[in-house]
Amino acid sequence: MARYVTQRIIYMIITLFLIATATFFLMKLLPGTPFNLEDKLTAAQKAALYEEYGLNDPLPVQYANYIFGLVQGDMGISFQFDNRKVEDLIMSRIGPSAQLGFQSLVLGTLLGLILGLISALKRNTGYDYTSNVIAILGISIPSFVFAGLLQYTFGVKLGILPVSFWDSFKHTILPTIALAIFPLATVQRFLRTEMLEVLGSDYIELARAKGLKNSVVTYKHALRNALIPVITIMGPMVVGLMTGSLVIEKIFAIPGIGEQFVRSIQMNDYSMIMGTTMFFSVLFVVVILIVDLLYVVVDPRIRLTGGKE
């Protein structure tokens, strides 16, 4: 177990290092400079700016400074957002994003589990079909289309929920639903498949043959075994939430990391892009690590073998 964890953490560090390096050099490849009002600056002002941001140093020095700074949590200074530190900007935006992500994850996962369970237990009935239609719409309809639909229906037409901004809990309802639909659909489809496979397995038949009640067989034997692999889709789901948050935060004008990222892309704020990219990468890699470790803890079959195939 300890060896497995160490190995995984080493991989994680290599991956992050590669991402950081790639990000840095890709950014350096870009033509032009990051200052959007460049034309209006005098040569002296430009030189001062370049000096201030260390853009005159040789590339290897800049690279070393960047990596060294990253390790200490220093992501540089934003060129566009009032020259503030990138890490401070990210931290200042983390609240709404975290709340939105958490609410959607909880709502989507819970509803997904319920729908998936109903589908598997009532296979080939109206319940199953309805639940499957919801899931296929959920993975198919792009979040921005769904968000637009929600905004127009509940915000513009019915006027019962605010169309945008982030003031009260009421403001979080529409974006949460819009973002929850993807985890909901993913979990529904995954749990349904797993549950059907488990329900068809020999050990479930043996459990029935013991004379256990249907509810005991379903929840104690089947659901437990079907839930374990659901942990593995947490990784893709977090990526889905990150992707979704860019769009949803833009549409609903939520002051989160995603909205800031989209703006920094539109304004060519390279240090902000690099910083947010690293932030997303770290988040993703850590989630994957937690998921893998959790899996080892939860599934007794993996515990003793020390690693999984």
Partner 1 sequence: MAKKDKELSKDLFQPAEVSADKSEELGRPEISYWKDSWNRLKKNKAAIAGLITLIFISFMAIFGPMMNEYDFDQADYDAKNLPPRVPGIENIEWLDWLGMNGERTVEVLGASPEDALNRGKEAFELTDDQFTYEVVREYDPDRPDPDKRWAAVAITFNDYEIRGYEDDYFWFGTDALGRDLWTRVWNGTRISLYIGILAAAIDMLIGVAYGGISAYYGGRVDNYMQRFIEILVGIPNLVVVILMIIVLDPGLIAITIALTITGWVGMARIVRGQVLKLKGQEFVLASRTLGASDSRIIARHLIPNVTGIILIQTMFTIPSAIFFEAFLSFIGLGLQPPLASLGTLIDDAFKSLQVYPYMLVYPAIIISLLMIGFNVLADGLRDALDPKMRE
Partner 2 sequence: MEKVLEVKDLTVSFDTYGGKVQAVRGVSFDLYKGETLAIVGESGSGKSVTTKSLMGLIPSPPGRIEKGEINFEGKNLAKLSDSEMTKIRGKDISMIFQDPMTSLNPTMKIGNQIMEGLIKHQKMNRADAKKRAIELLELVGIPKASERINQYPHQFSGGMRQRVVIAISLACNPKILIADEPTTALDVTIQAQILDLMKDLQQKTEASIIFITHDLGVVANVADRVAVMYAGKIVEIGTVDDVFYNPKHPYTWGLLGSMPTLDSTEEELVAIPGSPPDLINPPKGDAFAPRNPYALKIDLEQEPPMFKVSDTHYAATWLLHENAPKVEPPESVKRRMKGFAKTGAAPAAGDKKGDES
**In whole angstroms, what is the distance from residue 47 CA to residue 41 CA?**
10
Q: At 299, which amino acid appears?
A: D
213 binds, among partner 2, partner 1, none (CB under 5 to 8 A by kind): partner 2
Burial class (CB in 10 A: 0-12, 13-18, 19+), 14: exposed
The contact set with partner 1 (CB under 8 A) reads 11-12, 14-15, 18-19, 22-23, 26-27, 29-30, 136-137, 139-142, 144-145, 148-149, 151-152, 156, 163, 239, 242-243, 246-247, 250-251, 262, 265-266, 273, 277, 280-281, 284-285, 288
228 is a site residue for partner 2 (CB under 8 A): yes
**If binding is defined by CB under 8 A, does position 68 make contact with partner 2?**
no
Closer Cβ to partner 2, 28 or 224, answer by number:
224
Distances (CA, A) of 13 to 7, 70, 110: 10, 12, 33
Closer CB to partner 2, 167 or 202, in the complex: 202
What CA–CA distance (Å, rounded) separates 50 from 193? Answer: 57
* Binding test (CB under 8 A) with partner 2, winner from 1, 139, 212, 231: 212
Contact 155, 162 (CB under 8 A): yes
Count CA atoms closer than 13 A to 300's CA, side-chain side: 2
Q: Which CB, 119 or 151, lies closer to partner 2?
A: 119
DSSP bridge partners of 77: 85
Compare residues 18 and 206 and give the one whose CB is closer to partner 2: 206
The verdict on 40 binding partner 2 (CB under 8 A) reads no
Total residues in contact with partner 2, by rule CB under 8 A: 22
User: Which stretch in 35-43, 95-103, 224-232, 251-259 sits in contact with partner 2 by CB under 8 A?
Assistant: 224-232
Which CB atom, from 18 or from 106, has the smaller least distance to partner 1?
Answer: 18
- Position 128 contacts partner 2 (CB under 8 A): no
d(CA 100, CA 110): 15
Cβ closest to partner 1, residue 30 vs residue 67: 30
Q: CB under 5 to 8 A by kind: which of partner 2, partner 1, none does 149 bind?
A: partner 1
CA atoms within 13 A on the CB side of 108: 29
If you search the block for the tokens 């195939």, which residue do you land on?
A: 309
Quote the tokens at residue 17: 């290092």
Maximum separation of any 2 CA atoms in the chain, in Å: 87
Is 211 a residue that touches partner 2 (CB under 8 A)?
yes
Nearest CA among 59, 232, 252 for reference residue 146: 252
The residues binding partner 2 (CB under 8 A) are: 124, 201-203, 205-214, 221, 224-225, 228, 299-301, 304
